[in-house]
Structure 1
Amino acid sequence: MVSRLKVFRVFKSLHKTRLDVFKDDIRALTAAREKINDEFRKNKEETSEETINKMIKMASDVELVLRQTVIQGVHVEDNKILLRPRESILLENVPYRDNPGKET
């Protein structure tokens, strides 16, 4: 049987990620909170263990995508946006090489 604890953990994880990803953006924070809460509320009467497990998997996948791919942008001028990447999504810059096996 799917425990309520698993559902609560993924719910809490989504909200923690929301706070990190949309930091300082009140509109995005509010919209994400409402969407998360609405989706969980909409499905709170679900009793099928298989369906609940699928929804937990979907919520975990959404949390992963948010955490790994979303970068905040802030309008600083008419045609300029300042990107605010989180430390967790920055990768080490490795130069491109045509022949990775050969040292040049």
Structure 2
Amino acid sequence: MESRLKVLRLFKVLHRTRQEVFKDDFRALTAARQRINEEFRKNKAETSAETINQMIKFGSEVEAILRQDVIQAVHVDENKIRLRPRESVLLENVPYCDTPRKTA
């Protein structure tokens, strides 16, 4: 029963991440939804707890990669692409410094 809840929670988290990462991109949203649903449907009859835990771990890693590493890009011209990064992937640009900063 516990693994079933983990699977359902992962399913929900993957779909929420998909909606955030591919916001306003109908093709990518549809493709990601189909792929997530297909993978869960394909493994619906799995009963081995070890295999289920491995798949949950893999799904969690996929979700983390989508959330942390994927950004949208839009073709605006023949040789130009505009990036549409989310706030969560933007980092503070701190110049390199040989001496470490002192923390208070």
Please state how far the C-alpha of 1:2 moved relative to its aligned partner. 4.2
Using the alignment, how far apart are the partners of 2:100 and 2:8 within structure 1? 47
Partner of 2:65: 65
Asked if 2 retains the 8 angstrom alpha-carbon contact of 1:2 and 1:52, the reply is no
Structure 1 stretches lacking a partner, 5+ long: none
Question: What is the one-letter code of the residue matched to 1:31?
Answer: A
Report the TM-score when normalising by structure 2. 0.92
Alignment partners' CA distance in 1, 2:84 and 2:99: 31
The C-alpha deviation readout for 1:60-97, integer Å capped at 9, x for no partner, is 00000000000100111111111000001111110023
> TM-score normalised to the size of structure 1?
0.92
Separation of aligned partners in 1, 2:71 and 2:99: 29
1:2-81 aligned at under 5 Å gives the runs 2-81=2-81
Q: Which residue of 2 aligns with 1:92?
A: 92
Quote the Cα distance in structure 1 between the aligned partners of 2:90 and 2:82.
15
List runs of 5+ in structure 2 lacking aligned partners. Answer: none
Retained in 1: the 8 A contact 2:3–2:52?
no
Aligned length: 102
Provide the secondary structure at the position in 2 that maps to 1:76: strand
Task: Detail structure 1 runs of 4+ shifted over 3 Å in the superposition.
Answer: none
Alpha-carbon separation, structure 2, partners of 1:46 and 1:100 = 54
Alignment deviations for residues 27-82 of structure 1 (CA, whole Å, 9 cap, x no partner): 11111001100000000000000000000000000000000000100111111111
- Please give the alpha-carbon distance, in whole angstroms, between the structure 2 residues aligned to 1:60 and 1:17: 11
